[in-house]
Amino acid sequence: MSLWLSGKEFQEIDPQSMYEADIEKAFSEHAPWIFPQFVTAPFKSRIKYGLASQQPDLVMVNRNFNSWIVVEVEKVEHSLDGHVLPQVESFQLGDYSNKNARAILDAWPLGESEKPKLKQMEHLVTSVRPKVCVVADAANDAWKYALSIHRALFIWIRLFRSKDGMSIVQLEGDTQEFDLASVVSKCMPSREMPTLWIVSDDAFLESLDVVEIEFQQRAIRWDVIRTAGRVYLMPEQQIRVGDFANVAFNIVDDGDHLVLRRMSNG
């Protein structure tokens, strides 16, 4: 297949002839134009998960610094169950640290004027869970289904090149899903009334009287209690508040539901 642009022909590159390095280079070069709301950078920092660690390929940081995506580049000839899904799980559930935040800043593109401060990046990396996106060289229904079950994004790349070496990239798959997790508020148990959780910003609640927020992998309904000066959340299920005394949590919009995630000082 070929494309024509400004009178120039671009021939599609056979996916089987592409190496992972070709896919990564093409994606990272074109991502700033396709996803301008993100800064894309190499992410060659190992993520600890259990007794092992894994290294992704790229990172995409939202310019509002409230969400981010870990990108893993793969060829569809690789093992889905033996290689790809274990990496996705590691990047979704791994232990991100300040060391990972520093690695992102060290690789920050030189042409980007909006470079965050170290503390800002450390807060994002240690308190907001990233989405994970697998970028592959071709479409694959089995991969798309499995990754959707694991709540990971799947994009495949089509690379077109002209005779003089210019290239065009076409991305297909979950490209519309990049409006992702953002911190909408913060909360923590009240010292005076431990069954109530103080909310710092109630704009996300609008006029709701009850809201469902995931906590410790459980979907919990919270009653919204408004007083003259404060807004509280009261869980309908019992929570051992003593375990979280003086601990602050982010309320994160994870795309399709709200999640309470402990803020790390890591």
CATH classification number, 2-177, choose in 3.90.550, 3.30.70, 1.10.760, 3.40.1350? 3.40.1350
Q: How confident is the model at residue 246 (pLDDT cuts 50, 70, 90)?
A: low
Is the pTM here over 0.95, yes or no? no
Whether 180 has a pLDDT exceeding 50, the answer reads: no
pLDDT of residue 120: 93
CB 44 within 8 A of CB 55: yes
Helix (H, G, I), strand (E, B) or coil at 69: strand
Question: What does the mean pLDDT of the chain come to?
Answer: 86
CB 187 within 8 A of CB 199: yes
Q: How far is the C-alpha of 29 from the C-alpha of 125, rounded, in Å?
A: 23
Domain ranges of the chain: 2-177, 182-262
Between 107 and 264, whose confidence is greater? 107
Q: Is 149 helix (H, G, I), strand (E, B) or coil?
A: helix
Taking CA atoms, 157 is separated from 127, 172, 225, in Å, by 31, 7, 48
Q: If you ran DSSP here, which 8-state letter would residue 177 be given? A: G
pLDDT, tens digit, 9 for 90 and up, residues 44-101: 999 999 888 999 999 999 888 888 999 999 999 889 999 999 999 999 999 999 999 9
Q: What is the mean pLDDT of residues 243-256?
A: 72
4, HSE (Cβ side, Cα atoms, 13 Å) = 1
